[in-house]
Structures are given as structure tokens and as C-alpha cells.
Chain A
Amino acid sequence: MDFLPKFSLARIFGVTKLRPPKEAEEWYLLAGIIMVIIITSMSILAPIISPYDPTQLYAGPSLSPPSPKYPMGTNLLGMDMLSRIIWGGRFLLLVSFLSAVLSMVIGSLAGLVSGYFGGKIDRVISIFMDSIYAFPGLILAITITAMLGPSLLNVVIAISVIYVPTFYRMVRGLVLSIREELFVEAAKALGAKHRTIMFKYILPNIAPNIAVIFSLCIADAILTEAGLTFIGLGPVVPPTPDWGLDLYEGWRYLISGYWWLILFPGIFITLTVLGFALIGESLNELYNPLLREEV
């Protein structure tokens, strides 16, 4: 059975046969990818698809509940919540993606150097990473953001610091085992430089594992970013639309019964995290069949 339409991206990239998902993990992966694609494209296309300007005051009556005209209701200032939801993922996704990329690059490089060369370098980097790892993530992010001040770049730095040790530990562990593979020794016997061995022989072999951690890391970074915004250390200030910010604003009205102000941002944060987590977890299970058997 051919699962692909005749002209699709997959065909352009040379994938000619793709079967429909069979195992549960493959369905999870598909579900995760679809969720992520929908939410990402919604955020990117926000200027086109949002019905109102998200910061427009009194686009509707103040605090009106969900209705056909305002599907997600309006807030105290009459801003349309649907438009705010559509716009509100932009910073969140950008910040969590950038910080995941930053921590992936730094963590993987450190892990590669540390695991490959071993010895004193390894010990120094390990101690440094372990000391970061010892802190609870959100607390560390709060500390760093509070120190640097809440700007986009600073929040990215603060969040990426949390996840650098995660990449570092995983990459270092894998490098330690792949370093002993015969093909690494064979490459040395042909006169390969350390740089070549690290980037051509070892790194490609652990790339799938990095992809798994990367996806899980984005999921976690979204939560951290939303958390930072919630307590007022985020990169954005009102009235910028942002799920974390709206969550915070809406929370104060919950007790008066204006449930829609907190429900929709909450749902979207959850769905985004779920999407990335599904991708990460199912990739992990599919790439490490041994792990699956053990469970």
C-alpha cells in the first residue's frame, strides 16, 4: 500500500515508499508531528488567520463568554481571546526552540570533547555540568533571568543553561561507548585527525539520540518558559499576546467565574508540550527497541 500522495515533500526528498503506521509508537509519533505542525503553522500564519488584532482594545464587549462571534471569549479589556491564542505561541515556541538549539549545540560539543578525550578535561567538564544539574531547572532559570534581566535573549540563555547537562550526559555516555568501536580505531589507523573522528565517525552515530533529547527538551523548555512568564520573568510584557502571560492574567479572574480566560491558554500550552513529548518519546522507543523490550 502506498501511503504517499503522488507529489509530496517526501517524494521530492527521495522517499518513495512510506507505509502507514503500524505500532502504537508510530501512531504516537504521527500524532505528535501533526500537533506540532498545526500549532507551529498557526503561530507562523498568525497575521493572516487571526480575526482581530490581538492587542486591539474593545474588539468586543469586556469579559464576554465564548460565543460564535468570539469563539474563545474576550478579556477584561475586550481583546479577542482567539486572536490572542493564535498569536500567543510565537514567543513561546521561538524561545523554547532557540534555547533547545543552544543547549543542544553546547551540550553535545562538550559531551563529545569530554567523552572522546577523557582524562582531566573530562573531569573538569563533568564536575561543572553536574553542578548545574544539581539545581532544580525552574529555580535556576529564575535565578539567571533575575540576574540578567528579562529580555528575549536572556530568557533563551537562562533556559538553555538548564538543558545543557542533559545533552552533555547523554552524548558523553554514548561517545564513551562508540569511542571503543573498532571502526574508530580503524579510522585512527588510516591517519584520521581527532576532529574528523569526532565529527565524522562518532557524532553521526549518536545523532538519532540527540534528536530524541532535543524534542523532549523543547517540550520541557515550553513549560519552563511559560512558568517564567507566569511569574513575570518572561521575555514579554502585557499587552503582548502570550499563553503564559494570558494564563497569569486569567488566573486572577478565575474565582469570579471567567473560566475561558485561563482554559484556552492552558490547553494550548498542554497540547504543544504534549506534541513535542510524543515525538520525543515515540522516537526514543522506535530507535531503542532494546529499551522497549526491557519495559
Chain B
Amino acid sequence: MKPVLKIRNLRVYYRTKRGIVKALDNVSFDVYRGEILGVVGESGCGKSTLGLTIMRLLPPNAKIISGQILFNGVDLLKLSNEEMRKLRGSKISMIFQDPMTSFNPLMKIGDHVLEVFKYHEFNDLEKAKEIAVKILQKMGLESGRFYDYPHQLSGGQRQRVMIATAIAMKPEVIIADEPTTALDVITQAQILKILRELRDEIGSSIILITHNLGVIAQIADRVVVMYAGKVVEVGNVDEIFSDPKHPYTQGLIRAVPKLSPEGGQLQPIPGSVPDLINPPSGCRFHPRCPFASEICSKEEPPAVSLNGRLVYCHLYKR
């Protein structure tokens, strides 16, 4: 399989009053065609920054220090603003976390979907409308909804409309930033089902950013585990869940509540997420790591390949 998106040595820093926040530090991974890639990590580990960096929608106080984002071989970070605008929504699109505030309250649902076609020089409005109605129907919204305003829809319906706008132009990559966080569990399951069907139908790659391991387990093919602005482990979803290698991944999986009677007590990871203004030296997880040794606080762990999986940990260094 060929990667559609290659991210290499990406560093993104935020300028703040307290200092420079190293939100992404040397992040590299690939996204293959037609896969659902889960990006998982705690709040503030740089997941959302990653999504915004790929879209090049970072706030003005953020700076991309170095790195490449290769989309079909073209470095997105080198495109002009206008070239990037043309890619957004047509080749790479994004689904946001909060469906309640992601719509212009004064625009009808149908117009939200139609807008995408207008942005990308799809001028046959009749045909666009036909497609828009069809997509909305596929999302389970009857055609009468086309003329409703966002406030007339429920959260789940709005999230489906947002997905409809994101896929209207059949993009190659869809970035879903916590698409289910604001929804109840049943709606969440519907949305995940829709995402999976989409992938099968139009063959887009989906980058699913979430802090919810359950969501990842349900639909992702591969997982990127992030901690404090760095990638700690990359691998297939089954392997990561059945045999986590990195101590942080192990901790994360242990910290998920289990419903079985022998589940016992929850085992949280001790300590808290480090301050990204002054991250710990060496491996950023070492202050909380049960296996930390002397080298961990001194040297950054290299990427170690274990049967197709990547682990950034000194434990596995040969």
C-alpha cells in the first residue's frame, strides 16, 4: 500500500505569554490510502494541533518550525495560501468536534452543503443540489431537512450534516477531530458506522483524532499513540490493544474501565501530563514511567521497529 499522506519530523510551537509551547515535536507517521488511522492521546498532547497543521489552519501564534507534510508527494507546507485553499474541502477535509457551534446559524442546512461546491468551482448548481440532497439522504436526513436551519437539528443530525459537507467533494483524506465527543453513545455508534461505510465507499483515508480508546478499538485500522507532543507508538489496532509495547500505551489501556467482574480497580497512570513549555528531558514519559532507567532522562528514545510496529522507547533498543 502507498501512503497518501506522509508526515515527517513535524515541529509546531505556540508562542504564549508564559513561553514557547512545544505542541508537536518531531512527529512522523504515514497515512495509507483507504485506512482509518486513529490518533490517540490525552488532552493537550498535540492531537488537535496535528489536525490543524495538516489543514494549515493553525492560529496566528503557532509556528511550524520544521517538517514536511507530503500529500501525494506534494509538501503542503510549501503551497501558497490559494493553492492550499483549493485543497481544503476538496482533497482534504475536516470534521470538527462540536456540531453545535460549527454551523453558521443564519444559513440553511442545504446551503452549508452547497457552499462546498461553490468554493471549488463546481458551477452546475442544479447538479450540486442533486448531489447534496443525495448525500444528506445517505446520512439519514430526509430531503425536507435541506431547508431547515441548524438550530432545528439535533446534535447527531448536525454532525451528520458536517460529515456530508466534508465528504461532498470526495476528499482523499478526512481529518475527524473528536467527531463523537459531544454526542451520546448511541449517536456516537451511528456516526462511527457512517464513517466506516464512507471509507469503504469512497475510499478516503480517515484520520480519527480522539482520546477515546473505545472509539479507536471499534473502527480504526492502525493507531498512532501520542504523548506530550511526540509519537510514542504506531501499529495495527489489534496488536496495540492485545500487546502494547510502550509503557505509556500499556498504562493507557490499563486505565480504561472494564465491565467484567474480574476487572478489578482502575489503574490510572500516576502523575500528570507534563508542561509543554518545559518538557522533561530525554523521553518525555520518564517521570511517570514505571520502567524508567537512567538513560531515559538523558537521551531521546529512538524509533525501534518491532515486526512492522514502531515504538519510541529505550526498553526495546537492541
Residue ranges of A at the interface with B (Cβ–Cβ < 8 Å):
118, 181-183, 185-193, 196, 200-201, 204-205
Contacts and interface: CB of A to CB of B under 8 A. Distances in A.
B119 A190 contact: yes
Given A182-B98, A185-B57, A196-B119, A190 B93 contact: yes
Given A185-B96, A186-B96, A191 B105 contact: no
B162 interface: yes
Given A191-B90, A196-B119, A186 B85 contact: no
Given A190-B119, A192-B115, A193-B119, 5 more contacts: A190-B166, A192-B85, A192-B119, A196-B118, A205-B104
B165 A182 contact: no
Given A188-B57, A189-B88, A191-B88, A182 B120 contact: no
B116 interface: yes
Contacts of A188: 57, 88
- Residue from the set A186, A192, A196, A200 with the largest chain B CB neighbour count within 10 Å: A186
Query: What are the 8 A-B residue pairs with the smallest beta carbon separation, nearest first?
Result: A191-B89, A190-B89, A191-B88, A189-B94, A191-B119, A182-B101, A186-B102, A204-B106
Nearest to A180: B59
A190 B86 CA distance: 9
Contacts of B55: 189
Given A182-B98, A185-B96, A200-B104, A190 B57 contact: no
A187 B57 contact: no
Interface in B166-196: 166
Interface string B78-105: 0000000111111001101010011111
Given A192-B115, A192-B119, A196-B119, A187 B104 contact: yes
Interface in B45-93: 55, 57, 60, 85-90, 93
Contacts of B57: 185, 188-189
B115 A187 contact: yes
Nearest to B94: A189
Interface in B255-288: none
Contacts of B88: 188-191
A189 B166 CA distance: 9
Contact of B101 (A181, A187, A201): A181
A185 B86 CA distance: 15
Contacts of A191: 85-90, 116, 119-120
B89 A205 contact: no
A180 to B, nearest CB: 9
B107 interface: yes
A118 B55 CA distance: 21
A72 to B, nearest CB: 47
B68 to A, nearest CB: 21
A112 to B, nearest CB: 15
Contacts of A205: 104-106
Nearest to B82: A193
A201 B105 CA distance: 9
